[in-house]
């Protein structure tokens, strides 16, 4: 792959968008390579993914404006679908995905970070949906995910005004989970990812599914979704081993990673 790299650290997979010359802007090739990178993750081995951008200046400065500028209506729709399919794949990926946002997260950059489960950003990060200034709407789910993540009123304000916000404001409105210095960003993301990786993997996956699926339906249906996923955990080796360790007061074992395996 030319613009995307993948490395593994213990049980954490790190996917890096590496098109620094264009501030990691998303062209069709980057979208295809990201798709390939997620498809290539060994989901038995890896417990958490970190998605980041190469360099210190930009996470992703948006969809590629050069490529978009000459698109016909049909091509624009196809480009939008390519992005939306990928972003939905990230959002519903069985493993948690942490966005380590290292600088600009504009347009498609803000949108791809919002398809991740958790966002940690560096203090030089800048978020925004500048699309209306370019004569288009956000096209990779920005109108939908921003309104759900912050509030409809705040999302409308940011999208209609096309105003960029800095890391501290992104934190204040709940767009990011944590702000750290640029030097600390990857360590902090890895620390959080390792913490997730140390927990029972089937339980973590089921939590992600319960939260995601539950948010799409009313509370009565959501609770049934949770019940089912809670019940599923009870036939796993993870649950049996972890609870037995607790009852045996085996603190050493309790802290160990339990295997990813159904009974």
- State yes or no: is 131 an active-site residue: yes
Strand partners, 119: 99
Find the residue with minimal CB distance to ligand DAK: 139
Q: How far is the CB of 34 from ligand DAK (least distance, A)?
A: 14
Of 96 and 107, CB closest to ligand DAK: 107
Q: How far is the CB of 165 from ligand DAK (least distance, A)?
A: 13
Query: Which residue ranges make up the site for ligand DAK (CB under 6 A)?
Result: 22-23, 25, 61-66, 76, 79-80, 83, 104, 106-108, 130-131, 134, 136, 138-140
Instruction: Name residues whose C-beta falls within 8 Å of residue 118's C-beta, 6 or more positions apart in sequence.
Output: 96, 97, 98, 99, 177, 192
Catalytic residue among 67, 77, 111, 252: 111
Of 34 and 196, CB closest to ligand DAK: 34
d(CA 156, CA 167): 19
**Which residue matches tokens 């993301």?**
189
- The three-class DSSP label of residue 222 is helix
Catalytic residue among 131, 184, 188, 227: 131
Instruction: Name residues whose C-beta falls within 8 Å of residue 237's C-beta, 6 or more positions apart in sequence.
Output: 258, 259, 261, 262, 263
Strands 126-128 and 97-101: unpaired
Of 23 and 120, CB closest to ligand DAK: 23
- State yes or no: is 45 an active-site residue: no
Q: How far is the CB of 118 from ligand DAK (least distance, A)?
A: 22
Q: How far is the CB of 21 from ligand DAK (least distance, A)?
A: 6
Q: What are the C-alpha distances in Å from 50 to residues 217, 244, 259?
A: 28, 32, 21
Two tokens at 187?
A: 């360590």
Of 138 and 201, CB closest to ligand DAK: 138
By annotation, the residues acting in catalysis are 111, 131
């Amino acid at each position: 792959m030319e613009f995307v790299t993948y490395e593994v650290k213990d049980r954490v997979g790190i996917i890096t968008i590496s098109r620094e010359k264009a501030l990691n802007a998303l062209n069709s090739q980057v979208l295809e390579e990201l798709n390939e990178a997620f498809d290539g993750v060994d989901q038995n081995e890896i417990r958490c993914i970190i998605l980041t951008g190469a360099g210190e200046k930009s996470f992703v400065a948006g969809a590629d404006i050069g490529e978009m500028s000459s698109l016909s209506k049909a091509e624009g729709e196809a480009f939008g679908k390519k992005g939306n399919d990928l972003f939905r794949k990230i959002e519903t990926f069985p493993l948690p995905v942490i966005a380590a946002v290292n600088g600009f997260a504009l347009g498609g950059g803000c949108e791809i970070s919002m398809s991740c489960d958790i966002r940690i950003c560096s203090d030089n990060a800048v978020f925004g949906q500048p699309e209306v200034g370019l004569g288009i709407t956000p096209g990779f789910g920005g109108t939908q995910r921003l309104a759900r993540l912050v509030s409809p009123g705040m999302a409308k304000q940011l999208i209609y005004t096309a105003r960029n916000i800095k890391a501290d404001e992104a934190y204040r409105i709940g767009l990011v989970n944590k702000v750290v210095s640029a030097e600390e960003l990857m360590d902090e993301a890895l620390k959080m990812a390792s913490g997730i990786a140390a927990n029972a993997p089937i339980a973590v996956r089921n939590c992600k599914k319960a939260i995601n699926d539950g948010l799409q339906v009313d509370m009565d249906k959501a609770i049934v979704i949770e019940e089912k996923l809670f019940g599923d955990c009870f036939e796993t080796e993870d649950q049996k081993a972890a609870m037995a360790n607790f009852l045996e007061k085996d603190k050493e074992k309790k802290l160990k990673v339990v295997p990813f395996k159904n009974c």
